[in-house]
Amino acid sequence: MKKKTDSTISLPVWAQLLLPVLVTVLCAGIVLLCSIRPYEQAKTYLKVAFMAGSTSAAGESTNGLNIVQTDIDTDYTGKTDSEGTPAAVAYGSQCAVLEAKSIGLYVPVYYGGGSELLEQGACLTTASALLGASGNSVISGHVNTFFHDLSQLQVGDTVTAYTTYGKFTYEVTEQIQFESTSKSYLKQTDDDRLTLYTCEMQLLGSSSKRVGVICKLTDKAFYTDTEAGKGGTQ
């Protein structure tokens, strides 16, 4: 009769003591990495919610930039016209509210760019067309906050931009991807469109790729009673 042999590998005592510690550290590291972006997203949303509830000032000064939040009426029921003129907006001021119900997107849009404004919401590039004007309106936002689900927009989805002077409806016609150094999708165009983009989702560091959508303008509704389209600033 053959003698049975024990195939179990016996680890040294020091290895048996160290292994649970290493596993614990590894698991903790994975949990930490997975929680970084949700924390950043929640932190930004909480900050915006706090600021939206504050009525003590007309704006916030950040490093010399006066950030103005505008109370934009997204339930306007007054008269509208398909023709009109977009209202001028100051750099750092909120110029719109952007909504895409298919992905649960509802975000304030500021006129300008930079880290301070991107902490508050999305940004309408100053070199692009104002919402409702002829040409290409370009809006960007952080992927770890407001534009987290932007890549989930599908062709045919509806995107709506509310401003103090009108409501503009768009339809997604194309999903895009490009390098951060490329400006091909950010240039002015002969057609009236809305371009939305953000960084490609990446767990650590920043990506050199940008993802987004191109939307065609399907409806213009300029408010004939502009005072009804805004409720002042807060």
Just list the catalytic residues. Answer: 142, 199
Beta bridge partners of residue 209, listed in sequence order: 179
- For residue 37, count CB atoms less than 10 angstroms from its CB and return exposed for 0-12, middle for 13-18, buried for 19 or more: middle
CA 224 to chain centroid: 30
Q: Residue 189 in contact with residue 168, Cβ under 8 Å?
A: no
Cα torsion 57, 62, 63, 66 to 10°: value is -60
With a CB cutoff of 8 Å and minimum separation 6, the contacts of 76 are 162, 167, 223, 228, 229
Question: Alpha helices of the chain — where are they, by DSSP H?
Answer: 13-52, 115-118
Distance between CA atoms of 96 and 164, rounded to whole angstroms?
A: 7
Distance between CA atoms of 204 and 201, rounded to whole angstroms?
A: 9
Distance between CA atoms of 153 and 10, rounded to whole angstroms?
A: 54
Q: What's at 212, amino acid-wise?
A: G
